Amino acid sequence: MIIKVCGITNADDALSAIDAGATAIGFNFYPRSPRYIAPERAAEIDTRVVRRIGVFVNESPARIAEIARIAALDTAQLHGDESPAEYPNQLAVWKAARVAAGFTFAPYAGAPAEALLLDGPAGELYGGAGVAFDWSVAAATGLRIILAGGLDAENVARAIAVAHPWGVDACSRIESSPGIKDHNKMRRYLKAARAALLA
């Protein structure tokens, strides 16, 4: 069961998320993201025993491995145009896909990823934009799915009931500004997600 808070940039937000029930913490290593964090800074943030996820966009496997070593990552979440041959082989991979018109699971069938993270449409941007999608497309795929895109305390239980995912991931809808979490919104999201996933 994965309950992830992404876009962590400071220790206070990380520890608050963990205290409230997060099982995974995401660090964004895409330099053009407003939530970018340097690998050395991420390494200083204690996340106790939860999974440490690194978000990457079109990085080389060698650079991902280097950042994973510096920041003590468990998983690489890939948001770029990487083919399976370009996945790093030193750690688990979550491949991110944006669900928009014409979306199909065909490109991801048989890919060597631990999970497929489904995000909402973001136009030409890499990564998510806090936009939800039709969660029913994720149901009964046979793949291990993590739902992202526009999730918060108000809709995460409904998303879980529709899609029956392996996990959920929230970021922008639980922030006060990019990279800074609203602890009340974050706690409410985590409480709702945990209750729904354990139901």
Q: What amino acid positions are annotated as catalytic residues?
A: 6, 119
DSSP per residue over 136-160, as a string? GGGTT-SS-EEE-SS--TTTHHHHH
Q: Which two tokens stand for residue 175?
A: 């922030």
Residues in contact with 125: Cβ distance below 8 Å, sequence separation at least 6, in sequence order = none
User: Which positions ≥6 away from 13 have C-beta within 8 Å?
Assistant: 5, 180, 181, 183, 186
Contact, 126 vs 165, CB < 8 A?
Answer: no
CB atoms within 10 A of CB 139: 12
Cβ atoms of residues 70 and 92 within 8 Å? no
CA contacts within 13 A on the Cβ side of 56 = 27
